[in-house]
């Protein structure tokens, strides 16, 4: 009732009868998902039966087949693979690090660690004195002390930052660029504080990238507790650490984006894309990252078909092959879109986890955003509002195919995400069924509105 | 920056300089809590060192001492006990139920069950045919079939309801009144579907109340999976169940509300109350219910003192002795307020769990609500907005002491709460540190604003 009153006040552009129709349709979708949703069961299959899915692994290969078979069962107009070459990094062994002496006094304190993704083997056990530094500014100031040492970056996520995702972004460059920036000054290895908000001691992996100009030194993430202890200790003592990593690359792998398509009745050549990425890191089940985005995508397809919704625009439901270490899935999707001269209206990515949805983020002009925000009264009951800023690694390349495409994302509550992101704790048990399903409800509602009313740029 | 712009647009009543001051003060409180917050460590102590705290238990007695000692350490003006008689219910044993035959064919399928709080002993093993019914309407229609049977209510929480708390409220009367309503027609026992949203099979206890006019039959909650299976089976077969419960009451216990007080500088006789309840059910650690409300309360006190905030009004930080089975803590607080002719401006309860805060609910007139909502731009960054509807079992009696008191509550995201509410899974491990601390940030910010600007009723 409150929703209907709000319509009248806030929806000048669309007549009330239509809004009532939209409200009813969104409620039908919500009931279908909250009652009969398959997202949670699908996620259990993907995480428990298939498991972690790094590009190049048998699991990732199986996941694509699983995605295709399951989307076919929902009977869209077609389901197909987009073949795609991806990096093929292997961890290669059980990463190891230990403090072996403090101020010359022998010790053997094993540390909880994980090699960073794409990092290379240490080629045996290496040992060095730790140079513990706060940030890149300190690295530059102390560059003459780096040679022959193992640099530790105290890359904690700022606890004062209310948006955990923003704290992650601010610390990200220590993981991605930290190793080469230290190698430039002669470091023999790099350790970082895991980009984690957790109170536990689980290390978190994630992509890093070597600068080819400098030696490719081994790089590991420490568990948060070990990292904080090491940092405190290294400030007042001389600490020596041993570490060993085993990373290597095989020749690029053959993976597949999985694309399901429902043809538009009025604008069959105008495409709306919804997607998440199938791949995950090797150390967990890739439940929140990004199993939940995958099953959100599948659930919206299932729901549209279950309710016999015939979209005006062509809608694509895409499970991207490779996001974590290379982003080759999204690049391939964009490459084919360019090749086929496709017109892309809007794309939405779900890659923020399966937590309670808080917003739909949209990257567009202020005027357009205001227009989208007239839909807020229809979404509010389901927990979201439309806010500025959208995108996602898998859909961003699409701008190269159609510069008018509007990039959007589901924005779930982010407080728990960086507790388990890229850690072994990102497992099915840490996904809540209602939170997961609510994400699909809000994506379905938003995509329905986009399909009905377009994006106002034509 | 965005916040400051919003101030100017939305805050006609208060000059910009003041708002800027408020924004800075709220940010200081947020940083203090997110960085140095003790709520999570205090919760660990309360749940892990003390444990479940049913009124009348040694744990509850210890929890009050713990609360007093810890609040004293934060150096408010005073900390004191309010002695309070509470019910003293004992579970008395390991509740048991099993299906013993289906259509006359013997079986021994043990069911996951918990006796409802306040329910009494079955006085040995009882056995009866199950009458499985959907709701009270069906009970009334089939009242002639009830005699001698064990009634099962299929009291699921409506999955279509987006607000899990509302679904809980709608099903609540099956737990509270279901046993006596069935006893009225001669039932020998009652089983309900736990008031749970979980996908697991954990039964959930909670208060029930006998109607003295009818026999006090044993009453248990079934785990969600067992309940759904039983309901499906009982619709097509004759099922006999055995059950045994052990509940009894000891003479009322002597418990204590714990009250910390910081005297107001300008309005020492006008009181603002913040509180949560110390007691919990016996089957878990009472982490979300309501350990998080207890440590929210303590954290706000700690923060105000750490920042040397001198409130204009007197602020009370209250750990209520008994909410779960009797509500005697809140009644005692109100009784003493009446006795001392206290003036109560506003009370806030945190009893919705330690999840990401979404809103501050306020029970007041529409005009007053609008005035409170001018504070929304100050709260939004921290995740909340002011909405209609507030209260809580511990603070509601206060209206009898001062009819002008405004009742408010912290409203956290509720999607996960009824997965673990009153189940053995309500443990420390299921509380997230950042989500918990953010709750304290939003309470502190709101109470600060109330203290600074009052509630506009004078």
Q: What is the pLDDT of residues B269-321, one digit of tens each?
A: 999 999 999 999 999 999 999 999 999 999 999 999 999 999 999 999 999 99
Helix (H, G, I), strand (E, B) or coil at B269: strand
Q: Which residues of B109-121 are buried (b: 16+ CB within 10 A; e: fewer)?
A: bebbbbbbbbbbb
Distance between CA atoms of residues B189 and B127, nearest Å: 9
Least Cα distance to B54 among B222, B247, B225 occurs for B247
Residue B338, exposed/middle/buried by CB under 10 A (0-12, 13-18, 19+)?
middle
B415 contacts A435? CB cut-off 8 A: yes
Which tokens go with B77? 């003006």
Which tokens go with B360? 């501050």
Q: What's the pLDDT at A362?
A: 98
Q: What's the pLDDT at A17?
A: 64
pLDDT exceeds cutoff 90 at B77: yes
Q: What's the pLDDT at A208?
A: 98
B446 at A interface, C-beta within 8 A: no
Which tokens go with B163? 């607000």
Decide: pTM greater than 0.90: yes
Which tokens go with A47? 């995480």
Least Cα distance to A37 among B54, B89, B160, B282 occurs for B160
Q: What's the pLDDT at A448?
A: 98
Distance between CA atoms of residues B413 and B197, nearest Å: 14
B413 closest CB neighbour out of A160, A164, A413: A413
Q: How far apart are the first and last CA of chain A?
A: 34
| Residue located via tokens 């045919």 | B129
B415 closest CB neighbour out of A40, A164, A438: A438
Distance between CA atoms of residues A285 and A302, nearest Å: 23
Which tokens go with B11? 């805050």
Least Cα distance to A436 among A410, A458, A402, A415 occurs for A410
Q: Which residues of A358-397 are buried (b: 16+ CB within 10 A; e: fewer)?
A: bbbbbbbeeeebebbbbbbbbbebbbbebbeebbbbbbbb
Condensed to tens digits (0 to 9), the pLDDT of residues B112-127 reads 999 999 999 999 999 9
Mean pLDDT of B439-452: 98
Pure H helices in A282-340: 292-306, 328-339
Asked if A219 and A116 count as a contact pair (C-beta separation under 8 A), the reply is yes
Distance between CA atoms of residues A148 and A215, nearest Å: 12
Pure H helices in A274-324: 292-306
- Beta-bridged to residue B409, according to DSSP, are B349, B361
Enumerate residues 6+ apart whose C-beta is below 8 A from A365.
none
- Beta-bridged to residue A319, according to DSSP, are A258, A276
pLDDT exceeds cutoff 80 at B3: no
Provide the residue count of chain B: 458
- Closest residue, chain B, to A359 (C-alpha): B383
Query: Averaged in consecutive runs of 10 residues, what is the pLDDT profile of chain A (458 residues)?
Result: 34 60 97 98 98 97 98 98 98 98 97 98 98 98 98 98 97 98 98 97 98 98 98 97 98 98 98 98 98 98 98 98 97 98 98 98 95 96 96 97 97 98 98 98 98 80
Kindly list the residues from chain A whose CB atom is less than 8 angstroms away from the CB atom of residue B162: 30, 34, 381-383, 438, 441
Condensed to tens digits (0 to 9), the pLDDT of residues A291-318 reads 999 999 999 999 999 999 999 999 999 9
Enumerate residues 6+ apart whose C-beta is below 8 A from A28.
A307
Distance from the Cα of B137 to chain A's closest Cα (Å) equals 23
Kindly list the residues from chain B whose CB atom is less than 8 angstroms away from the CB atom of residue A413: 356, 413
- Beta-bridged to residue B347, according to DSSP, are B273, B407
| Residue located via tokens 């209907």 | A4
- Cα dihedral value B64, B66, B68, B69, nearest 10: 160
Enumerate residues 6+ apart whose C-beta is below 8 A from B381.
A162, B3
Pure H helices in A386-432: 417-420
CA distances from B120 to A214, A445, B206, B248 (A): 75, 48, 13, 5
Distance between CA atoms of residues A399 and B104, nearest Å: 68
Condensed to tens digits (0 to 9), the pLDDT of residues A143-179 reads 999 999 999 999 999 999 999 999 999 999 999 999 9
Helix (H, G, I), strand (E, B) or coil at B30: helix
Helix (H, G, I), strand (E, B) or coil at B156: coil
Pure H helices in A177-240: 178-183, 224-236
Q: Which sign does the torsion angle of CA B353, B355, B360, B362 carry?
A: negative
Q: Which sign does the torsion angle of CA B391, B394, B396, B398 carry?
A: negative
Phi and psi at residue B105, to the nearest 5°: -85, 120
Kindly list the residues from chain A whose CB atom is less than 8 angstroms away from the CB atom of residue B164: 434
Q: What's the pLDDT at A8?
A: 35
Confidence grade of residue B15 (pLDDT, cut at 50, 70, 90): low
B35 at A interface, C-beta within 8 A: yes
Least Cα distance to B244 among B149, B114, B380, B78 occurs for B114
Q: What's the pLDDT at A279?
A: 98
Distance between CA atoms of residues B357 and B441, nearest Å: 9
ipTM: 0.93
- For testing contact with chain A, the best of B6, B159, B165 (most A CBs within 10 A): B159
CA distances from B184 to A206, B400, B436 (A): 63, 34, 44
Confidence grade of residue B160 (pLDDT, cut at 50, 70, 90): very high
Kindly list the residues from chain B whose CB atom is less than 8 angstroms away from the CB atom of residue A356: 356, 413, 415
Mean pLDDT of B143-154: 98
Pure H helices in A282-408: 292-306, 328-339, 366-373, 376-379
Provide the residue count of chain A: 458
Kindly list the residues from chain A whose CB atom is less than 8 angstroms away from the CB atom of residue B413: 356, 413
Instruction: Please state, as a whole number, how many other Cβ atoms lie within 10 Å of the Cβ of residue B423.
Output: 26
| Residue located via tokens 């949805």 | A357
B35 closest CB neighbour out of A159, A413, A419: A159
- For testing contact with chain B, the best of A5, A161, A162, A388 (most B CBs within 10 A): A162
- For testing contact with chain B, the best of A166, A414, A421, A434 (most B CBs within 10 A): A434
Reading across the β-sheet that carries B96-102, which strands appear in turn?
A: B105-110, B96-102, B239-244, B126-133, B150-153, B189-193, B219-222, B113-115
Distance from the Cα of B382 to chain A's closest Cα (Å) equals 7
Q: What's the pLDDT at A1?
A: 30
Q: What angle do CA A449, A455, A458 make, to 5 degrees?
A: 140
Distance from the Cα of A241 to chain B's closest Cα (Å) equals 29
Mean pLDDT of B70-94: 98
Pure H helices in A177-291: 178-183, 224-236
Confidence grade of residue B18 (pLDDT, cut at 50, 70, 90): confident
Distance from the Cα of B134 to chain A's closest Cα (Å) equals 17
Enumerate residues 6+ apart whose C-beta is below 8 A from B126.
B150, B188, B189, B218, B242, B243, B244
B416 contacts A435? CB cut-off 8 A: yes
Q: What's the pLDDT at A124?
A: 98
**Partner A, chain B 180-219, Cβ-Cβ below 8 Å:** 197, 199
CA distances from A455 to A11, A273, A375, A448, B296 (A): 15, 13, 12, 12, 44
Q: What's the pLDDT at A334?
A: 98
Q: How far apart are the first and last CA of chain B?
A: 33
pLDDT exceeds cutoff 90 at B8: no
Using DSSP bridges, classify how beta strands B357-363 and A219-222 pair: parallel, antiparallel or unpaired.
Answer: unpaired
């Amino acid at each position: 009732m409150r929703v209907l009153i709000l319509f009248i006040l806030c929806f000048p552009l669309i007549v009330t009868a239509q809004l009532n129709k939209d409200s009813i349709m969104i409620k039908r979708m919500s009931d279908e998902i909250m009652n009969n949703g398959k997202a949670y069961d699908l996620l259990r299959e993907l995480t428990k039966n298939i498991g972690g899915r790094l590009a190049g692994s048998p699991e990732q290969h199986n996941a694509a087949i699983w995605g295709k078979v399951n989307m076919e069962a929902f009977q869209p107009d077609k389901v197909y693979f987009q073949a795609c070459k991806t990096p093929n990094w292997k961890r290669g062994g059980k990463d190891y690090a230990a403090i072996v002496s403090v101020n010359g006094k022998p010790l053997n304190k094993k540390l909880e660690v994980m090699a960073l993704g794409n990092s290379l083997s240490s080629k045996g056990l290496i040992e060095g004195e730790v140079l513990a530094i706060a940030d890149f500014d300190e690295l530059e100031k102390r560059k003459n002390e780096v040679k022959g040492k193992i640099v530790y970056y105290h890359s904690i996520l700022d606890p004062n930052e209310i948006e955990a995702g923003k704290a992650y972004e601010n610390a990200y460059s220590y993981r991605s660029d930290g190793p080469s920036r230290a190698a430039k000054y002669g470091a023999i290895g790099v350790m970082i504080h895991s980009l984690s908000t957790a109170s536990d001691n689980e290390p978190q992996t994630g992509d890093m990238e070597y600068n080819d100009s400098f030696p490719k030194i081994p790089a590991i993430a420490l568990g948060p507790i070990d990292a904080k202890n090491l940092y405190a200790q290294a400030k007042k003592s001389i600490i020596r650490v041993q570490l060993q990593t085993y990373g290597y690359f095989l020749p690029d792998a053959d993976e597949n984006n999985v694309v399901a398509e429902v043809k538009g009745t009025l604008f069959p050549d105008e495409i709306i894309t919804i997607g998440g990425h199938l791949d995950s890191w090797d150390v967990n089940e890739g439940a929140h990252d990004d199993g939940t985005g995958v099953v959100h995508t599948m659930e919206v397809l299932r729901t549209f078909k279950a309710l016999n919704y015939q979209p005006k625009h062509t809608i694509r439901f895409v499970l991207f092959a490779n996001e974590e270490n290379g982003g080759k899935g999204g690049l391939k999707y964009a490459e084919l879109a360019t090749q086929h001269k496709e017109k892309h209206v809007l794309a939405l990515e779900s890659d923020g986890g399966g937590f309670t949805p808080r917003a739909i983020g949209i990257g567009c002009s202020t005027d357009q955003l205001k227009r989208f925000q007239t839909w807020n009264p229809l979404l509010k009951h389901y927990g979201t509002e439309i806010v500025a800023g959208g995108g996602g690694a898998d859909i961003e390349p699409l701008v190269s195919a159609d510069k008018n495409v509007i990039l959007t994302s589901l924005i779930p509550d982010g407080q728990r995400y960086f507790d388990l992101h890229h850690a072994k704790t990102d497992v099915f048990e840490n996904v809540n069924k209602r939170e997961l399903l609510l994400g699909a409800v809000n994506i379905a509602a938003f995509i329905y509105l986009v399909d009905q009313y377009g994006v106002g740029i034509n």
